Amino acid sequence: MKFNMKYTVPLAAMLLLAACNSDQATDEKKTGDTAEKETTTYTVVDDRGKEITFDKTPETIVSLQPSNTEILFSLGVGDKIIGATDYDTYPEAANDIERVSTSTVINAERIVELNPDVVIAYTSGDESQVAQLEDAGLQVFVIKSAATFEDVYGDIEQLGDVVGKTEKADDIIEEIQTQIKDIEEKTAAVETKKKVYLEISPAPEIWTSASETFQNEILEAAGVENIFADQAGWFSVAEEDVITKNPELIITTVNYTEDPIGEIKSRASWNTIQAIKNGEVYQLDSNILSRPATRIGDAVKLVAETVYPELFK
């Protein structure tokens, strides 16, 4: 179950994150991935605590957050998605889905026209868009942005319950956990963790991820020290604080400016930072590091290989 608070971030950060989970299906008999669920009424609780009842397994789905789209594809129901956001780019097949949302603003009229069996929605505080769809008679299942790995696992379980892929969801979670455990075993040999600064939004409004975020968990699982782990959530950071904390490496997930690495290196006074002096500034795939979905294991591996390449030769 999710217990995380929702964080308000600027649009740039939201697009990067552009995400009460549990297997709360109320069927007395969980049917897993069997055909039985297709004809049996079942109920799943969404992150509003609302019970959503299905008369049959959804055949058509609209997904309003890239991370949930990735999860649905991993569950094997990507072919059932008939509407997605402008930022649904993974896997490749997601690019062919009709766009019905910018990720922050939905095209309610078009979604109603599509008349999906379920809308997998995301709320960042503006619940009026969800109300629009429900007032039109659509079945809406709301998932809040994941702040921890456990939240991600919960999202996978919930969506597995919704689409009748409970057993597949369990398998995916086990695979992710095994992948992360393998990386943690490799980085356990590191005696002194390297200090890393993660940037998710560039100047002039610089944002980073601190504790109580899944991105901080990615860094921890990769065996590195987040220089802002003493803070909480996603927040705007002062350049002076980065300079004072003097990270050994800088990782940016910014992918919408011309030269993110060059911009960081050119900042006034940043030339005193160890990472800048040693040329340890890296741009990593935002889609992997910023989406709380089934690739969090890949994210951990990507960071670990970047910071400790010698462990993965």
Domain boundaries, the chain: 13-176, 189-312
Strand pairing report for 99-101 and 140-143: unpaired
Residue entry with tokens 């560039």: 202
Q: What is the DSSP string of 90-158?
A: SSGGGGGSPEEE-SSSB-HHHHHHH--SEEEEE-SS-THHHHHHHHTT--EEEEPPP-SHHHHHHHHHH
| Cβ atoms 13, 198 nearer than 8 A | no
What are residue 104's phi and psi, to 5 degrees? -120, -25
**Domain 189-312 grouped into CATH 3.40.50.720:** no
- Quote the distance between the C-alpha of residue 288 and its chain's center: 8
Q: Provide the 3-class DSSP secondary structure of residue 219.
A: helix
- Give the fold, CATH level 3, of 13-176: Rossmann fold (3.40.50)
| Cβ atoms 142, 47 nearer than 8 A | yes
Q: Would you write out the chain's pLDDT as a tens digit for each of its 313 residues?
A: 343 333 334 444 444 444 333 343 434 334 455 444 555 899 999 999 999 999 999 999 999 999 999 999 999 999 999 999 999 999 999 999 999 999 788 999 999 999 999 999 987 556 888 999 999 999 999 998 888 999 999 999 999 999 999 999 999 999 999 999 999 999 998 999 999 999 999 999 999 999 999 999 999 999 999 999 999 999 999 999 999 999 999 999 999 888 999 999 999 899 999 999 999 999 999 999 999 999 999 999 999 999 999 999 8
**Do the domains 13-176 and 189-312 sit in the same CATH topology, yes or no?**
yes
Query: How far, in Å, CA of 101 to CA of 104, rounded?
Result: 7
